[in-house]
A and B are shown apart, each in its own frame.
Chain A
Amino acid sequence: MPVSCVCYAVHILKRFVAVVAMACLSSSRLCARVQDKLLCQFGHKVRKQTVFVKLKPPGPSPLRIFGKTCQRVTTCGPACGSGGFSAGASSGLVRRLASSLQSTSTGSLPDYGTQIVDPYRLLEDDLNGIYEDIRSELERNTNQSELNTIATYYFDGQGKALRPMVAILMARAVNYHVYGENSALLPSQRQVAMISEMIHSASLIHDDVIDQSDFRRGKPSVNVLWNHKKVAMAGDFILAVASMMIARLRSDDVTLVLSQVVTDLVQGEFMQLGSKETENERFAHYLTKTYRKTASLIANSVKAVALLSGADESTCELAFQYGRNLGLSFQLVDDLLDFVSSAQAMGKPTAADLKLGLATAPVLFACEKYPELNPMIMRRFQEPGDVEKAYELVHKSRGLEQTRFLARKHGAEAARLAAELADSPYQKGLVVTTDLVLNRIK
């Protein structure tokens, strides 16, 4: 058992270090976390018996964590070949270790010592009517009824509203962090929540035309119902209205932050058209693409609400990093569900990515064990039988497991960042959200 554990850990390490060195995503930090994770693999058995500490310590990391962490580091560190972790390890490193140890708690809700926070219930009043507000904003902006029909089609309230939820949660958590208990949600912050959902829908609508999908959210997708040219225009329309709403917030910084989202989304789409030759390049490509297509929207909209709150730079950056990690975790889980979930639960067909010729994390991981996937990736699973074969190999490999593992890593990092905000129900909600994202089934 310990031997296989070492193998797995080393395997993961090799993969991540290579990946991270290629990706431009705060590589040094990620590297450090990968090493942490290595240690975690060893601590796993032990940890299951330990009592979880509160995720949000009132001040700097309490000594309690420090002690436990230290113990584990000293027992397993040298065995992993990453020696040098002595008692003299810097406090930053210990903090990171502490957070990474806690990370394995994600997947099963940690005991906070308080009742579990359901972010959706917590924000019921704020989220109530958010789709209606978006619809009326769109309706106000056109006198063409068909345009209105197409543009409002996906705002029927059937979506998860994850982006608005996270934006409002962060807004309230940061307001609480900055102004204390009596802070309230600013109208401009709620606008950003709406805008984030609108930008998301605009990109979905264009994706539908590009990918020719048949179903989305359990109903026929827009391209099945209407003229593709009109559908494309409806996407532009939603973006234009969102962009007018952004402008009406009258904040230069917020406009800049949110315009970055649009640029990232399109660049991500373009990246999806191409693929890279070598494995390592491919994984870095995949991660950057995932950031641009999914995480950037969440990261930048939570940053925007933090800016509107008047929070200092480091808090805004914290919000951004929370959103980035949450977004990456979300997309990794999405890519995973594409392989394991049923079409019915997802509201869209499964193995859809493979059919579109896309190699997502599970495939990229699987191709380490089954190199025969490489040529299939290069030809974008176009030959008959490719999709089925790839699907089968992914399930035979540890690709799904490894994808979940990476998703947890990012979820844990998001939770750690959220824990740095002042203790409040909303801050707890941010932590719980990382679990919701990991444990969702659709």
Chain B
Amino acid sequence: MSLSRLCRVVRCDLVKVQSSSALVSKLWGPCAPREVSTCSTQRASVAQHSSKPDWNRAVSEAEKIVGYPTSFLSLRWVLSDEIANVALHLRKLVGSNHPLLKTAKFSAHTLRLLLNLVLPNDFQVGQLTVKIDTHFFSRNLIYNGKNNMQAWGLIVLLVSKAAGHSPEIPDMEQDKAAGVLHSQRALAEVTEMIRTSHLVHKGLVNMNSRQPIAAEPDDMMFGNKIALLSGDYLLANSCSELANLRNQELVELMSSAVRDLAEAEFLGERDEQNNPLPSRPLPKDQIEEATEWDIITDPLPMGGVIGCAGREWSARHVLAAGALLGKSCSAALKLAGHKPQLQTQGYLFGCHLALAWQAFLDLEAFTGPEPASFSLVGAPLAFTLEARPELYEYIEAGKKSVQDVDYHALYKAVLAGDGLEQTKRLQREHIARAVHVLDSFPDCDARTALANIIVAMHHDHL
């Protein structure tokens, strides 16, 4: 039973990777026909010239090196009887109009993960997944392709393999075929569970707001319930997975990453649905000196952060992404018996990679046709606001809901200024730092795979 379920999960993932890349080329086709044609020829050749599908290529190549990051084996509760009940509720949720399903945050991957966990048989899984994908996620697949949570566990595994492990680790603990330790694989899984849990909790709807809510209150409440419990479920499982690793320093480090994610949701201004808004830019002479984050198990110091575009952007995304990836990479090296110094390097690699990734996502909104909306806390807009503080009045219009913001005006302002240029510089900086760490690892297939992922991300905007 458990094995067949496992196979299904893996198969399902395989299918997904293919279908999403097919969809990527389809959707990108109209706006960038030249790229599509190059991509089909490139499939056979080595990745040299970068284009969108190279991302998927880099990721799927990397997956072959270390195996799938999520084994699902440890999620024993998948088979527990009571949990199957939730299937019914999820089905009800799919029929409802809960925005949880519509937000990019609640990605296809997340839902698939939950469905795989809770649904008792193949037929329902297939039917539901298809229905959900076509109805709610087709537009988000590109975004999810790049912001794929699976890639996070994958990075942790690649770093594990690239750094190797101390000779003292007993044979029993090694997954020889993949070149990583079983404990590192479990850790990669924890990383994904923590991230998924956070995203699912972020997908809640605030029902305590003055704004009328679009759908039926009962549907909303029900969606919130499921989202909250599903997130808690993943969190609880990551707790017990971590406990099973029997390494208390590691538990402390990873728990601090969960804390950082929670803190991220409180940083700066928010609209009524807790969507982030940038802070009003402070004049240069009023910005305090920033404090370094020396001890990463302590909370991120906030001195001199708010109102300073660059720092605010970094702090926000270190808390929301960098800390988790960095701490996971660092923890993976700890499990392999590496010295604290290398563990720190692992942290830096993960953190810089996550920030480079974020800069890339921020830029993406400005590469294609003009989008209906984009992140208000992205780096391009932050830099633009810093240069032209008078634009902040557009932001203030979004205090109730980010939907009230005049995105067109801000879009034009970003294109007119040098925000994009600065963001690209920022991205290059983070990439350079990540690559610097990478250079200290011995040359191997995992290191190359990491380099390819970075290159795929890097080249997109050059």
Contact = CB atoms under 8 A, between A and B. Distances in A.
B236 A265 contact: yes
Contacts of B242: 255, 259
Interface in A336-350: none
A73 B316 CA distance: 71
Contacts of A225: 208
A252 B208 contact: no
A47 B237 CA distance: 49
Contacts of B299: 140-143
Interface stretch (B83-91, B129-137, B341-349, B411-419): B83-91
Nearest to B272: A227
Contact of B263 (A229, A237, A247, A248): A237
Given A210-B224, A247-B252, A256-B243, A270 B300 contact: no
A237 B251 contact: no
A227 B208 contact: yes
Interface in A22-79: none
A224 B252 CA distance: 32
A162 interface: no
A391 to B, nearest CB: 23
A17 interface: no
B333 interface: no
A240 B204 contact: no
Contacts of B89: 273
Interface string A143-164: 1101100000000000000000
Contacts of A248: 248, 252
Contact of A237 (B83, B237, B259): B259
Interface residues of B, number: 59
Contact of B262 (A147, A256, A267): A147
Contacts of A262: 235-236, 239-240
Contact of B224 (A146, A228, A255, A269): A228
Given A271-B82, A273-B85, A239 B243 contact: no
A: interface residue count bin: 35 or more
B290 interface: no
Contacts of B256: 240, 244
B225 to A, nearest CB: 5
A246 B252 CA distance: 8
Most interface-central of B77, B225, B239 (chain A CB within 10 A): B239
B260 to A, nearest CB: 8
Nearest to B205: A228
Contacts of B231: 232, 236
A267 to B, nearest CB: 7
A277 to B, nearest CB: 12
A269 B197 CA distance: 16
B180 interface: no
A206 interface: yes
Contact of B266 (A224, A233, A241): A233
Most interface-central of A144, A229, A274 (chain B CB within 10 A): A229
16 contacts: A206-B228, A209-B224, A225-B208, A229-B265, A233-B262, A240-B256, A240-B258, A240-B259, A243-B255, A247-B255, A248-B248, A256-B240, A259-B239, A263-B240, A273-B85, A274-B86
Interface of B: 77, 80, 82-83, 85-86, 88-89, 197-198, 201-202, 204-209, 221, 224-225, 228-229, 231-233, 235-237, 239-240, 242-244, 246, 248-249, 251-252, 255-256, 258-259, 261-263, 265-267, 270, 272-274, 297-302
Given A236-B197, A236-B235, A240-B262, 12 more contacts: A212-B207, A226-B208, A227-B209, A227-B270, A234-B262, A236-B201, A236-B231, A236-B258, A247-B249, A252-B246, A267-B82, A270-B83
Closest A-B pairs by Cβ, 6 of them: A274-B85, A247-B252, A237-B262, A144-B266, A247-B251, A240-B259
